[in-house]
Amino acid sequence: MKYERFRKTIGVTLLLLIGGLTACQHPPTSEPDASLYSALGERTGIESIVEDLLYLIVEDERIAFQFKGIDVAHFHKQLSDQICDLSGGPCEYTGREMRESHSAMAVTETQFNALTENLILAMEQNGITTGAQNRLLALLAPLHKAVRGL
């Protein structure tokens, strides 16, 4: 459907746009900045966001099937580590490269956008400010190609 195609394009364009805009406002510095980590509620807050994200994924027929049979505790820890690490927290993501861990899934644009929507919803549920939400999305935007295997 025409509208559906438009919505998909807008979804990924928004994600990439937010990434670009945020990068302009916050040029990379050599000093690690933990303010985003703090705005996400530190480790406990991030774990709560990822837990809520998992509940939303299971309920979302667009992507639930991709997660069937995964080790939920492992996924929860890995994604929490990754977000903690990316947001300037005292964690190190030691999981697989995004291209490798998603290579067998053939993730579509719709599925990528669905996961992004659910992450935004999970952040809303955890009272994360829009500014902090956008900063995290901007850090995740560069992973889009690897997750999609493009």
The number of angstroms, rounded, from the C-alpha of 91 to the middle of its chain's C-alpha atoms is 17
> Does residue 95 belong to the site contacting ligand HEM (CB under 6 A)?
yes
Among 40, 102, 135, 136, binds ligand HEM (CB under 6 A): 102
CB of 148 to ligand HEM, least distance (A): 8
| Range 66-70, long-range pairs (CB < 8 A, 24+ positions) | 66/105, 66/107, 66/111
- Mark 8-20 as b/e (b = at least 16 C-beta within 10 Å): eeebbeebeebbe
List % helix, strand, coil for the chain (3-state, nearest 5). Answer: 70, 0, 30
Residue 40 near ligand HEM by CB under 6 A: no
Nearest approach in angstroms of CB 71 to ligand HEM is 6
The answer to whether residue 101 forms part of the interface with ligand HEM (CB under 6 A) is: yes
Say whether residue 67 binds ligand HEM (CB under 6 A): yes
| 46 binds ligand HEM, rule: CB under 6 A | no
Residue 73: how many other CB atoms lie within 10 Å: 8
> For ligand HEM, which residue has the nearest CB?
95
- Considering beta carbons, is residue 50 or 126 the nearer one to ligand HEM? 50
Residue type, 119: L
Write the binding mask 104 to 123 for ligand HEM: x where contact by CB under 6 A, - elsewhere.
-x-x---xx--x--------
Cβ 79 vs Cβ 50: under 8 Å: yes
- Using CB under 6 A, list all residues that contact ligand HEM: 63, 66-67, 70, 75, 78-79, 82, 95-96, 101-102, 105, 107, 111-112, 115, 140, 143, 147
